[in-house]
Structure 1
Amino acid sequence: MDLGLFDTWGESAVSRAYVIENILMFIPLGILLPLLHGRFRNGWYCASAGLAISGLIEGMQLVTARGFFQIDDIATNVAGTIVGWGTVRILAEIHQHKKYCKNM
């Protein structure tokens, strides 16, 4: 169990790759949630869902002693969810802008 924040980001390329991997792993969740249900178009709902899912995964690792419980994993997973949500928001804005310009 590691309860330190930003402890995973170390000196080695491998430790940094773990951080980036955790962010990349949750980007699809941040993209899919707003597309599947309108409630998750709100960033707080989407980030909260990422927090809950990541917390569940980390909690299962802690309880079953399979894997390593880290607060960093939760933080980076939520960051990945937010990146995915932001991607959807940007693409939606571009789509709305194109639609508006086309109707002029």
Structure 2
Amino acid sequence: MDLKLTPVSMPSSIRPSTGIKPGGATGAAAAGGAGFSGALKDALGSVSAAQNESTRLQKEVQMENPKVSLEETMVAIQKAQIGFQATLHVRNRMVQAYTDIMNMQV
């Protein structure tokens, strides 16, 4: 069974492409990006931006800015935490794959 799910919050720049572009290239590589490395860089930038935004909102709440709500801040913190955990899992999987490849008998 081949089931493909695309999260709603995934940026379109890293969303997988299903079609083959002229010249045989697919996905981000056809769009002029560097493929997986470009998508990974964009994802890391997105996680970093979410963390920076949550930090900014935390500071605003601590300064008692009436325009920033505590609920908005807590949601931003949770989004940053989930993004960081996902990034950590991807990193761990990549390290494990690298280790497995390096331990293969040639």
Do both share a fold (TM > 0.5)? no
Structure exhibiting the larger radius of gyration computed from Cα positions:
2
Q: TM-score range by the shorter chain?
A: 0.3 to 0.5
Structure having the larger proportion of residues in helix: 1
Where relative contact order (Cα < 8 A, 6+ residues apart) is larger, the structure is 1
Question: Under a length normalisation based on structure 2, what TM-score does the superposition of the two structures give?
Answer: 0.42
